[in-house]
Chains A and B, each alone.
Chain A
Amino acid sequence: GAVVSQHPSWVICKSGTSVKIECRSLDFQATTMFWYRQFPKQSLMLMATSNEGSKATYEQGVEKDKFLINHASLTLSTLTVTSAHPEDSSFYICSASSRDRGLTDTQYFGPGTRLTVL
């Protein structure tokens, strides 16, 4: 149990285009989903927290108009990188948690999406 998927696993796009990344919880309903960014050989940096049906909460320094997050259902959240530029190239990874699981609000992570902007 606690499987989270991400799609696509990798994407290459031209500068100026927008890219959408999907994050799905496959076997549980995620009350909260998180989006992280990870640069090579570095730790995860939280970008935003989203709850189903409400606006995402962005971390300081993260442009909400640049990184659009939609949490349309209890199993799906999307991150759209708008007008992508080469500096947006990174590894984006989502996680999902659910208080309903009766555990410890453990975050379960997706496999990540590697974005390369040319």
Chain B
Amino acid sequence: AQKITQTQPGMFVQEKEAVTLDCTYDTSDPSYGLFWYKQPSSGEMIFLIYQGSYDQQNATEGRYSLNFQKARKSANLVISASQLGDSAMYFCAMREDKGGSEKLVFGKGMKLTVNP
């Protein structure tokens, strides 16, 4: 079974609108971390936001927020006030903390296009 599922292959949004990128995960480990990365066409992976499994509040970083629904095992990324520069691939990733592993498992990613 896939550990990270991103079902939306691509999304289009108008500039200045908010958009939600879906991510569901699967783990039996009670301690884990969830990450979102952005990959523009240049190829670099840019860290956006992190949510720990024990965090009580949803993580926020500027225009990015993570809608963490632990019971549903979902960690959707919300981008408010989209900008043209937000057009990129977005990857959700999970780190399971068992054994002290730092390995990340990535979803397949989804392509966001922001239209002017």
Q: Which residues of A contact B (CB under 8 A)?
A: 2, 32, 34, 42-44, 46, 49, 91, 93, 95, 97, 103-112, 114
Contact = CB atoms under 8 A, between A and B. Distances in A.
B108 A43 contact: yes
Contacts of A44: 45, 91, 106
A32 B44 contact: no
B72 interface: no
Interface in B101-116: 102-104, 106-109
Interface of B: 33, 35, 37, 42-47, 50, 52, 91, 95, 102-104, 106-109
Contacts, number: 52
A43 B43 contact: no
Given A43-B107, A43-B109, A105 B95 contact: yes
B106 A107 contact: no
A-B CB proximity, top 7 nearest: A109-B45, A112-B43, A111-B44, A43-B106, A44-B106, A43-B108, A104-B50
Nearest to B42: A111
B44 A110 contact: yes
Contacts of B103: 34, 46, 49
Contacts of B45: 44, 93, 95, 109, 112
Given A43-B91, A104-B33, 11 more contacts: A34-B102, A44-B91, A44-B106, A95-B45, A104-B52, A105-B33, A106-B50, A109-B44, A111-B42, A111-B43, A112-B43
